[in-house]
A = this chain, B = another copy of it.
Amino acid sequence: MEQLLQSLKIGINEKIYVKDPQSSALGKRIVEESILMINDMGFESFTFRKLGVHIGSNESSIYRYFENKHKLLLYLTSWYWGWLEYQLVFSTNSIADPKEKLQKAIEIVTRATKEDSAFSHVNEVLLNKIVINEYSKSYLTKEVDSENKEGYFVIYKRLVARISKMVEMVDGDYKFPSSLASTILEGSLHQHFLIDHFTSLTDCHEHLAPTEYFTDLVFNSLKTDSNG
């Protein structure tokens, strides 16, 4: 696993960046430190000027990598979904039984990221928190449609499509495989947010994870050989 991950490069739409941040030390620092800063101060307060000061570099240098902070957020979240997709494919690949496969998929995408895999400059634990707190801001904009056309959300869409297909493999008659898949992904982020800030709005907590909730939700919705 480690070796595989060492050589993993997540393919991100080239239009998202001006210059590939993976291509230089400064680019990597921008990604690395922006994750820490956005996590600490939130996306709204985060600016390229502050990032420049933080990494001892210049604001204008950062603009050579990303047009603006919105694009940086698109980059970071794309990276996260690509990373998650990789884990999903890797972990479910060898599972033949559709139910078991879907169960594993739910587990992968709904669990909290607990360990930084240390194979890159990206801190996945913090990035997971950024995705929970900031992802929806990347698409809740007036530019969604044009950015969608440009392919800025392909990785996320592919991930939903993969889960949707797994749902179909379990129950070909189910009417809402895509809605269910998007509910799992987006709903999981939401439940994790609720655990942190609105405990009264969720039943999930440390010992009853979102994974249990979504597993229950999904397998009660699908007719399987054993229960239908």
Contacts and interface: CB of A to CB of B under 8 A. Distances in A.
A179 B200 contact: no
Interface residues of A, number: 49
B203 A175 contact: yes
Nearest to A144: B197
A208 to B, nearest CB: 7
Nearest to A42: B142
A187 interface: yes
A176 to B, nearest CB: 5
Interface string A17-43: 000000000000000000000000110
A166 B178 CA distance: 27
Q: Is the interface of A mostly helix, strand, loop or mixed?
A: helix
Contact of A136 (B136, B191, B202, B221): B136
A197 B141 CA distance: 11
A77 to B, nearest CB: 13
A76 B198 CA distance: 20
A190 B182 contact: yes
A145 B197 contact: yes
Given A197-B144, A220-B221, A204 B179 contact: yes
A178 B200 contact: yes
A92 interface: no
